[in-house]
Amino acid sequence: MNSLHQAVVGCSKTDLYTPALCLDLDLFDANVQIMVETCQKHGVDWRPHAKCHKSPIIGRWLVDAGAIGLTCATIREAELMAEAEIRDLLIANLIAGPAKIQRLVELASKADPIICLDHQDQADAISQAMATAGVYVRVLIELEIGMNRVGVDDLELVERLAEKVHSLPGLELAGVMAYEGHLLTIEDLQEKEQTIRQALAKAMTARDRLESRGLPCSIVSCGGTGSFPITVKQNGITEIQAGGAIFMDEFYRHSCQIDQLENSLTIMATVVSMPTPDRVVVDTGRKALNIEIYRPRVREPKGLLVESLSAEHGVLRLTEDATPPKIGQPVEIIPGYADLTNVLHPGFLGFRGGKFEREIPIVR
Amino acid sequence: MNSLHQAVVGCSKTDLYTPALCLDLDLFDANVQIMVETCQKHGVDWRPHAKCHKSPIIGRWLVDAGAIGLTCATIREAELMAEAEIRDLLIANLIAGPAKIQRLVELASKADPIICLDHQDQADAISQAMATAGVYVRVLIELEIGMNRVGVDDLELVERLAEKVHSLPGLELAGVMAYEGHLLTIEDLQEKEQTIRQALAKAMTARDRLESRGLPCSIVSCGGTGSFPITVKQNGITEIQAGGAIFMDEFYRHSCQIDQLENSLTIMATVVSMPTPDRVVVDTGRKALNIEIYRPRVREPKGLLVESLSAEHGVLRLTEDATPPKIGQPVEIIPGYADLTNVLHPGFLGFRGGKFEREIPIVR
């Protein structure tokens, strides 16, 4: 990756072959500290999501900084984090099909994963494979709290599925999971707080109903970066998953109105063309920068707005008071949505005090 | 990659760890054959774009099948293709900034690249670096023919830039490039043909004006997959760049009405949840499948429509007459837009006669 971006220790962001995904490690550390302290203050565990970085190195840093373990979106991510000797791994997704279940069995012999279920067919297949291999896996029941994606909606069904999981070999019922992802962008902050609290109340009710039947429910897991200041205060939550907080981005800042964190992640681009007095074209398009969820923002130089991206070109507009940049000049851009931007890159180029320190591969 | 997807020689698509990007090599070969024959019939060279595959292996196959060379979007892609001993490489993009120009100088000593320019500042900087290193590079003037992205609009300026390039050391004027990318989705096919012919006529005028001033113009390069049946017939064009044709996708078929080619590329997914009778959730979201340009389509099983994608989940809807799939069942999906889908994957899993044959890495 170093040779790809021409990054040598001590070089500056403006020396790079672009596009290049740059991580300001000073700001990153500050964000991690805020998350750890916020969780400690509210007596909630932090289990940051690894899907936004897909890096065993960063996963290790977060656990060393105080995270209880990690959340993963796929078995593959959990495998990578297990290789970094992190054992307490929640795969916050549903697992099905022989190929995946085989990998889960192997993972359960190396780490201590937690999986989610929302249907007894998943439970039966995974239980059988686990029991045959002589291993076990912890299980959360995934609740539907309004996202219309996955999860069990009806609390009677939650109880029945939990009882089933509790009865099956190779599965160990550990609690419930809920995700308030559909409520992140409510504009009125009072309404946002109230609506999230209402939605998450269902998780507390589910926990109460399981416990009243003598079923274990030591984990109530929820919370993304776009809602963590609200979710972390919710009574009964045992852990929050907010992971993108380490990077921050325009979506979290503006759509979700999160203002406690700094943008540690930027993309370096280069001006390659200035075909008209107000149009600047950079070498960075949709293959290096996601524009679906929120518009990226130019940090430097001032006065450039991201107008559109095609695969390999980014078209920027000059504001009226801006100084036109020169062809060949570097441009630093804050991602609109880091999660979908990072997967486009082979890794992060880590800078400290403005100097390149090390590369941090993003693993597929 | 094999271990990532559990692909072993002879296995079927339904055995894979998903999501997995699968290439049907029989259909791929048929598409290549159609492109080679179409170009031969019209006396036009085929210089297929490598940005859609980013694979030196596929690049090599295309040149062996009759392509004159390749088109690349970045210096990085051209470096990779040069490593596969392909010399005639058009970088159909603008190059600026010291880091890129340094790489271009190195490339010019290993291969015979062609670059594009739309401003004298690029010409000056590249000429100086080339001349200092004692190498040269062929140059096309990039024309603006309506895309409002890059390129020189005014034909007087085209002449002046061409004269400048012709006069500078380290640069060898070779012709012009134009891209009709803004005209691919015109619905009425007669209007589409007429509009594209009008736009490309500017390239012919530019060539005539350069040649009338005694300037060389042996290359007139244009043409994408969404317009190739029209562009290939255009008098005066010397080469077409259509590259995505080897894969085909829903965007080309439906938005661009290209019907001569087969979908060689599919994504294998797995049903992981069926939370309601009409909602099916697969393990394949925006990190494996692009949905920005055109909606992906489920090939198998029948009766499933892609409703929405989040990062790691795909929500499918059952049509009225469909048989509900089972949790764990494989689902085969045709990409909406292959170019932006492929970069999300480490490589293609190549199948022939329905059996896994080999992996084909996609290089970053």
Pair A290, A250: CB distance under 8 Å: no
B307 touches chain A (CB under 8 A): no
pLDDT the model gives residue B320: 87
Rounded to a whole number, what is the distance in Å from the CA of A41 to chain B's nearest CA?
31
**Cα-atom radius of gyration of chain A, to the nearest Å?**
22
Residue B324 lies in a domain: yes
Interfacial B residues in 157-216 facing A (CB < 8 Å):
181
Looking at the domain assignment, is residue A350 inside a domain?
Answer: yes
Return left, alpha or beta for A223; rule: phi > 0 is left, psi -120 to 50 is alpha, else beta: left
Q: Which of A75, A312, A329 sits opposite B93 (nearest CB)?
A: A312
We report the CATH number of the domain holding residue B237 as 3.20.20.10
Cβ neighbours of B315 in A, within 8 Å:
148-149
Number of Cβ atoms within 10 Å of the Cβ of A202: 18
For residues B161-186, give the mean pLDDT.
97
pLDDT at position B2 is 57
Domain stops at, among A209, A242, A275: A242
Percent above pLDDT 90 for chain B:
98
Whole-angstrom distance, CA of residue A170 vs CA of residue B145: 64
- Domain for residue A167, yes or no? yes
Same domain, B101 and B228: yes
Interface of B with A in 100-119 (CB under 8 A): 100, 102-103, 118-119
Verify that A177 and A300 share a domain, yes or no.
no
Partner-chain contact B275 A152, CB within 8 Å? yes
Do the beta carbons of residue B240 and residue B38 sit within 8 Å? no
**Which residue is closest to B120 within chain A, CA to CA?**
A327
Average pLDDT over residues B222-250: 97
Q: For residues A158 and A203, what is the distance between their CA atoms, to the nearest angstrom?
A: 10
CB atoms within 10 A of CB A355: 11
Angle, CA A283 vertex, CA A280 and CA A289 arms, to 5°: 105
**Do both A164 and A219 map to the same domain?**
yes
**What pLDDT, on the 0 to 100 scale, is given for residue A2?**
57
Q: B149, B271, B278: best mutation site toward chain A, by most A Cβ within 10 Å?
A: B149
Return d(Cα B352, Cα B36) in angstroms, integer: 21
Which of B353, B359, B361 is closest to B7 using CA atoms? Answer: B359
Query: Do B200 and B270 fall within a single domain?
Result: no
Alpha-carbon gap, residue B246 to B51, rounded angstroms:
12
Q: How confident is the model at residue B1 (pLDDT cuts 50, 70, 90)?
A: very low
Domain co-membership, A99 together with A229: yes
Residue A238 lies in a domain: yes
Distances B39 to B26, B47, B196 between C-alpha atoms, Å: 20, 10, 18
Q: What is the CB neighbour count within 10 angstroms for residue B35?
A: 26
Interface contact flag, B313 A150, Cβ < 8 Å: yes
Gyration radius of chain B's alpha carbons: 22
Task: Please measure the distance between the N-terminal and C-terminal CA atoms of chain B and give it in whole angstroms.
Answer: 14
Mean of all residue pLDDT scores within chain A: 97
- Please give the residue range of the domain that contains residue A170: 87-242
* Confidence band for A283, pLDDT divided at 50, 70 and 90: very high
Instruction: Show the 3-state SS of A209-271.
Output: HHHHCCCCCCEEEECCCCCHHHHCCCCCCCEECCCHHHCCCHHHHHHCCCCCCCCCEEEEEEE
Residue pLDDT, tens place only, B309-364: 999 999 999 998 899 999 999 999 999 999 999 999 999 999 999 999 999 999 98
Partner-chain contact B119 A327, CB within 8 Å: yes
Pick the residue from chain A with its C-alpha nearest to B14.
A99
Together in a domain, B228 and B283? no
Distance CA B287, CA A74 (A): 11
List the CATH number of the domain containing B333.
Answer: 2.40.37.20
Q: Residue A188: exposed, middle, or buried by beta-carbon count in 10 A (0-12, 13-18, 19+)?
A: exposed
Average pLDDT over residues B200-220: 98
φ, ψ of residue B103 in degrees (nearest 5): -65, -35
Residues A187 and A93 grouped into a single domain: yes
Q: Domain count of chain B? A: 2
| pTM of the predicted protein model | 0.97
d(CA B54, CA B50): 5
Question: Does B110 share its domain with B230?
Answer: yes
Q: CB distance A95–B119 less than 8 Å?
A: no
What pLDDT is attached to residue B321? 87
Whether the per-residue pLDDT at B75 is higher than 60: the answer is yes
For residues A139-168, give the mean pLDDT.
98
- Mean pLDDT computed over A187-214: 98
Same domain, B238 and B274: no
| A233 at B interface, C-beta within 8 A | no
Coil/strand/helix, residue A275: strand
Asked if B271 and B236 sit in the same domain, the reply is no
Q: Is the pLDDT of residue B78 over 70?
A: yes
| B204 belongs to a structural domain | yes
pLDDT of residue A1: 46
Whether residue A271 is predicted with pLDDT greater than 60 in this model: the reply is yes
Residues B129 and B228 both lie in one domain: yes
B 310-349 residues inside an 8 A Cβ radius of A: 310-313, 315, 326-330, 339-340, 343-346
Task: List alpha helices for chain B, DSSP H.
Answer: 2-5, 25-41, 56-65, 75-83, 98-108, 120-133, 155-167, 189-212, 228-231, 250, 338-342
For testing contact with chain B, the best of A11, A13, A17, A93 (most B CBs within 10 A):
A17
Given an 8 Å threshold on Cβ–Cβ distance, is A98 in contact with B152?
no
Do residues A148 and A215 share a domain?
yes
Domain-terminating residue out of A182, A215, A242? A242
Residue B176 clears pLDDT 70, i.e. is over it: yes
First to last CA, chain A: 14
- State which residue of chain A sits closest to B310, comparing Cα positions: A149
Inside any domain, residue A198 = yes
Calculate the alpha carbon distances from A293 to A255, A350, B275 in Å: 10, 25, 25
Is residue A325 domain-resident? yes
Domain boundary (A210, A242, A274) is at: A242
Within-domain flag for A190: yes
* ipTM reported for the complex surpasses 0.85: yes
How many residues make up chain A in this entry?
364
Residue B93's nearest CA partner among A169, A162, A320, A310 is A310
